[in-house]
Amino acid sequence: MELKDIIEEKLVFFNLDISKKQDVIRFAAKILEENGYIKNKDFFVEAVLQREKVGVTGIGNGIAIPHGKSDSVLKPKVVAMKLKQKIEWESLDGKKVEYVFLFAIGDDPKAYMEHLKLLASFAGKLGNDEKVNKILNSTGKEELVEIIRR
């Protein structure tokens, strides 16, 4: 499985007016449940919030990649969100977050390995300054999906 397989335009949102980390996570879980990718948004939210307690998911440059492993996940997906305003989020550079890419991955061992590969692949893309600048300057769903798929 590759990043291009788990991101879809219907899971990308621009200028979301959400001001709290927990509300961003709940919004993404609701979208995943409504689209049939998770079976219980509350269980999934709890998994993501538990992971948030373990370590920082704000990777810098205004980007966070929260993730949760849960048996509630039916199909791995990522919800991409550009927030209307930057919000507080524990991050490696201590700065607020504007872009959130929430990964939903199943809890079985095979899914866990896929989870690690997908996160590593995405983190690798975000290690490229040119790619980060393209993400930060993207103007719509289609453009953001194309940047991530490349």
List, by residue number, the catalytic residues: 67
Q: Using CB atoms within 10 Å of the CB of residue 101, give its burial: 0 to 12 exposed, 13 to 18 middle, 19+ buried.
A: buried
CA separation for the pair 87, 19 (Å, rounded): 6
